[in-house]
Amino acid sequence: MPEDSIPKKSPLDVLVLAAGLGTRMKSGVAKVLHKLDGRPLIAHVCLAATALEPRNIYVVVGHQAEQVQDAVDKELGTGKASLVHQPQQHGTGDAVIAAKDALANAKSTILILSGDVPLVRAETLRGFVNKHKSSSASCTILTIRLENPTGYGRIVRDEAGAFVKIVEQKDANDEERQTREVNAGIYCFDSTKLFAALDKIQPTNSQGEYYLTDVPAILKGDGEEVALYQHSDAREVLGINTRAELAEFENLIRRRTIRRLMLEDGVTFIDPSHAYISAGAKIGRDSIIHPDVHIQGDSVLGEACEIQQGARIVNSSLGNRVAIKDHCLIVDSDIADDCAVGPFAHLRMNAKMEERAVVGNFVEVKKSQIGRGTKSMHLTYLGDATIGENTNIGAGTVTCNYDGKQKHPTVIENNVRIGSDTMLVAPVRVGEGSVTAAGSVVTEDVPPNTLVAGVPAKVKKKLTDA
């Protein structure tokens, strides 16, 4: 083995190219920050890379570097990927050169990915890296065959089928353009060989860019072996370059997710083409999803839930047999078995409902806990409240939790009846078994088993001798 060869058991480093603006998106937002299935494109790629357990992940950033960093940190955890800055975007070769300080002496196998190829699966990458490591090639290129190869770099082979070069669409002659085998933009390189060859690339092409795609032919010219690894599922490694492609991918992921939920998990969709379920969501068997329902993020729904038209559930968990009626918004909340919500209810910021609780028409629940069997059926705001069991909250109740400067808590104990149109001026506590009359403005704590009424509410009578 030549001295500068990288041993095949060398560590794996991943380099994700994500510095381009993505002109074809016609956007003020860097392409890799556009969202697919609720996650930035870059996050999809980095998560697939993470599953390979590489030594390091580097992301080459340029446009909107801070936002890309935030997106990567949010999805992977801070510090899981290191950023490399490419000050100006002079092409994919230049992007890799930007990582020279980090990687030129790494003595590793470098897997290069594009930030705009979001569907690539970890299994595919693992097979690809293993193929590279088990061969004597210093570069392996993942290729696909496309009916319509427009826009992609074409793979040129010699008569024996061996690699000759990659030629970009804009530099290809008519014959080369006929080639259906294209470069997916996924490569394995021996690090030392890669950086030695990058010193030789020139921007002598129609775009005046430094192409990474020139490196394999340079290696070949230097007597190195370049291997091609043809992957059969082309769609998995297609890049997103336009908004139309982004929408197609979204559609594809959605159809796959819903099919899996129907066939493997026993979920009923009234109209599968009008349901929007994130790939990360889980739904238990015999649940029924009506049209125009959105279930986003890592939401988890139990068995036999029914989610009616127009509801949106984000990063929330629902137990079994939960009914969500029409047009509810439920964000970062937790709903236990046999609860009912809506129509037109809004739960947010860690709202919690215990078993059999009911939140009805036009009720907003923020950062509050609603005890077992408690009901709040109509036109109510419950914020920063802790409510016990078997309590009834009358129509039009408001926890007045904000004094203009700070939020204050409301506590309502078990077996309370809050009359219609009660204002609970927080901080305030209503004791167990108490009743507020309709229209009360409760400014002071109410002892247990007491009826209060009026503005401000006064004790009217003790309800028992407790």
- If the CB atoms of residues 5 and 169 are measured against ligand UD1, the closer one turns out to be 169
The rounded distance, in Å, linking the Cα atoms of 61 and 75 is 16
Please give the single-letter amino acid code of residue 204: T
- If the CB atoms of residues 241 and 350 are measured against Mg ion, the closer one turns out to be 241
- If the CB atoms of residues 94 and 384 are measured against ligand UD1, the closer one turns out to be 94
Give 465's contacts (C-beta < 8 A, 6+ positions apart).
Answer: none
Q: Which two tokens stand for residue 285?
A: 């068997």
Interaction with ligand UD1 in 32-91: which residues (CB under 6 A)? 60, 86, 89-91
- If the CB atoms of residues 13 and 168 are measured against Mg ion, the closer one turns out to be 168
54 near Mg ion (CB under 5 A)? no
Q: How many residues at the interface with Mg ion, by CB under 5 A?
A: 3
Catalytic residue among 44, 274, 294, 378: 378
Interaction with Mg ion in 280-319: which residues (CB under 5 A)? none
Q: From the list Mg ion, ligand UD1, none, pick the one residue 90 interacts with, judged by a Cβ distance below 5 to 8 Å according to partner type.
A: ligand UD1
239 near Mg ion (CB under 5 A)? yes
- The site string for ligand UD1 over 90-129 (x = CB under 6 A, - otherwise) reads xxx-xx------------------xxx-------------
C-alpha R_g of the chain: 30
- Judge contact between 429 and 408, C-beta under 8 A: no
The rounded distance, in Å, linking the Cα atoms of 153 and 148 is 12
| Span from 12-20, 101-109, 123-131, 301-309 in contact with ligand UD1 (CB under 6 A) | 12-20
Interaction with Mg ion in 114-143: which residues (CB under 5 A)? 116
- The site string for ligand UD1 over 156-195 (x = CB under 6 A, - otherwise) reads ----------x-x-------------xxxx----------
Show the DSSP H helices in 98-208 as ranges. 100-103, 122-133, 174-177, 191-198
Examine the residue annotation and report whether 44 is marked as an active-site residue of this protein: no
The rounded distance, in Å, linking the Cα atoms of 169 and 241 is 14
- Smallest gap, in angstroms, from Cβ of residue 82 to ligand UD1? 15
- Judge contact between 461 and 450, C-beta under 8 A: yes
- If the CB atoms of residues 114 and 374 are measured against ligand UD1, the closer one turns out to be 114
- Smallest gap, in angstroms, from Cβ of residue 394 to ligand UD1? 57
- Smallest gap, in angstroms, from Cβ of residue 252 to Mg ion? 17
Helix axes 65-76, 41-50, angle to 10 degrees: 50
Give 294's contacts (C-beta < 8 A, 6+ positions apart).
Answer: 276, 277, 311, 312, 313, 314
The alpha carbon dihedral of 246, 247, 248, 252 has a sign of positive
Angle subtended at Cα 364 by Cα 393 and Cα 405, rounded to the nearest 5 degrees: 100
Q: From the list ligand UD1, Mg ion, none, pick the one residue 212 interacts with, judged by a Cβ distance below 5 to 8 Å according to partner type.
A: ligand UD1
- Smallest gap, in angstroms, from Cβ of residue 45 to Mg ion? 12
- Smallest gap, in angstroms, from Cβ of residue 308 to Mg ion? 41
Q: Which two tokens stand for residue 251?
A: 């559609």
- The site string for Mg ion over 58-97 (x = CB under 5 A, - otherwise) reads ----------------------------------------
- Reading phi first (left if > 0) and then psi (alpha if -120 to 50, else beta), residue 18 is in alpha
Give 273's contacts (C-beta < 8 A, 6+ positions apart).
Answer: none
15 near ligand UD1 (CB under 6 A)? no
- Reading phi first (left if > 0) and then psi (alpha if -120 to 50, else beta), residue 213 is in alpha
- Smallest gap, in angstroms, from Cβ of residue 245 to Mg ion? 10
Catalytic residue positions, numbered:
378
Binding residues vs ligand UD1 (CB under 6 A): 17-20, 60, 86, 89-92, 94-95, 114-116, 152-153, 166, 168, 182-185, 211-213, 239, 241
